[in-house]
Amino acid sequence: MPELALPEYLYELWDANWDDGPLGNYKVLRHEITKKTARRIYFVMRGHPGFVDRQRIEAAGEIFYRPVARTLYLTEPEVPGQPTQPSLPELKQAMAKAHPDRGGTHEAFVAARARFERAKATR
Max CA pair span of the chain: 78
Distance of CA 42 to the CA centre of its chain: 22
User: How high is the mean pLDDT of the chain?
Assistant: 87
Report angle CA 25, 29, 32 to the nearest 5 degrees: 180
Q: pTM of the full predicted structure?
A: 0.59
Query: In what order do the strands lie in the sheet containing 9-15?
Result: 48-53, 40-45, 26-36, 9-15, 70-73, 62-65
Backbone φ and ψ of 51, nearest 5° = -150, 155
One-letter amino acid for residue 40 of the chain = R
Residue 15: what pLDDT? 80
Residue 3: what pLDDT? 67
Domain boundaries, the chain: 9-73, 88-122
Q: What is the pLDDT of residues 61-84, one digit of tens each?
A: 999 999 998 999 999 998 877 667
